[in-house]
Structure formats: structure tokens, C-alpha cells
Amino acid sequence: MWPGRSAAAGGATPGATEYQRSVVQLKGAFNSFLIWDRIKSSAPSRFNLHTLTTSIDQTPGKLTAHGYKGVDLDVHLLGAAQPSVALDSGRVSGDWPQPNQQWIQLGQPAGTDHTVLLQPRATGEKALETIEHPTGTATLKAYELVAANGERAMVLLNSGDAVAQADLGLTSGWTAATPAENGSVNGTTINVAAHQALVLIKTP
């Protein structure tokens, strides 16, 4: 797992008093990137994703952008607070067989985070399965990812200003794959530090 973070106050998003982007690369069978924008704002926000694709399909909770060389990009829209989705296009430079690139525009109301999982995959390959688990804590979100080969990961995101704790009833075999300062798992109890992402991997 590779976690990365950037933070800014104001300017990053109109009306934002606090903005933090976390990017987590999930390797191996998951082969995906989770992007979490934690936003405190008084105005709506928009997440823009530019794709050089031939077409885009939309199903509940997911967009699939069809690209070249037999590669698609799944855009998983995580969480119950589903964004509005708009499609636009713009000119693209370079030697490409099409003049425009697609712009996926995801909108959220004021104060709502953006949580997107990007999964490039071969056309026809099975997409990741995503499952949201209740945590009993408003600021803590938990998403389970299931790969085509059965491997499982759990991503926990704490948007709160204090450590968040939850008992998800996990069985043994889950281990943290992010730095210790992000959080920990002890038996069935999970602790996630403020403003952090914790990734757990289920070992055989």
C-alpha cells in the first residue's frame, strides 16, 4: 500500500476552510487507487477526472470509461452520498485518433467528501466488488474491496477531528497495511487517527 496526502486551507475549493486529499495505491490483485478529498466548506464542490476514452457507461455506484488497447477504467463512487454526475469534453493535444477527451465531473453539496476508487483493467476482466460497512460513527466510513481472485481489503476513512473507533466484527487474519500513525486493528476493534485513512488486508 502507498498512502499519500496533501492539505490546503481555502482556495483549493471555493468556500473551503479545510481541504485534504489522500491517495492510497492498492497493489496486487486490487490494482487501484483510492482518492479521498476531505472537505469542510460552505459551498458545493466538484471532482474533475479527465479520461482519453471512446465512451463512458454509467451504472449505480460506478462509471466505466472505455479506452484504447483493450483497457477500461472503472470509477467506483464510494458511499451512500452519491455525487451528481455530468459529462463534458475538451480538446486534446498530441497524435491521438480522436480530437477530444472526456471530462467526468462529480458534484457534492457543501461539506461532503469525495471518495473515488479508480481501477484500470483489461476489457472483460472482472471489476472490484465494493461493500460499505456501517461503523456506528458518523465520521468513520468503511469500505471492503473484493478482488476477482477473492483477496479482500478494508479501507477506513476518518474525517473527524479525533480518533475514531469501531467494531466491525472482523475475523482473524486482518493486518494493517498503512503506517502505524494512521491507525490499528486489535482483534475486532479498529482505531483510525483523525483525518487519516487506514487500510487492512485479509491474509489467508
DSSP for 65-128, please give it: EE-STTEEEEEEE-SSSPPEEEEEEEE--SS-SSSEEEEEEEEE-TT--EEEEEEEEETTSPPP
Residues 70-128 pLDDT 10s: 999 999 999 998 999 998 887 777 777 777 788 899 999 998 999 999 999 999 999 99
CA–CA separation, 101 and 97 (whole Å): 11
pLDDT of residue 52: 83
Residue listed under C-alpha cell 483510492: 34
Q: What is the overall mean pLDDT for the chain?
A: 89
Cross-strand bridge partners of residue 115:
36
| Helices and strands (H, E) in the chain, number of each type | 0, 18
Q: Which residue segment(s) compose the domain that 124 sits in?
A: 2-202
* pTM of the complete model: 0.89
Q: How many domains are contained in the chain?
A: 1
Give the dihedral sign, CA 143/159/110/25.
Answer: negative
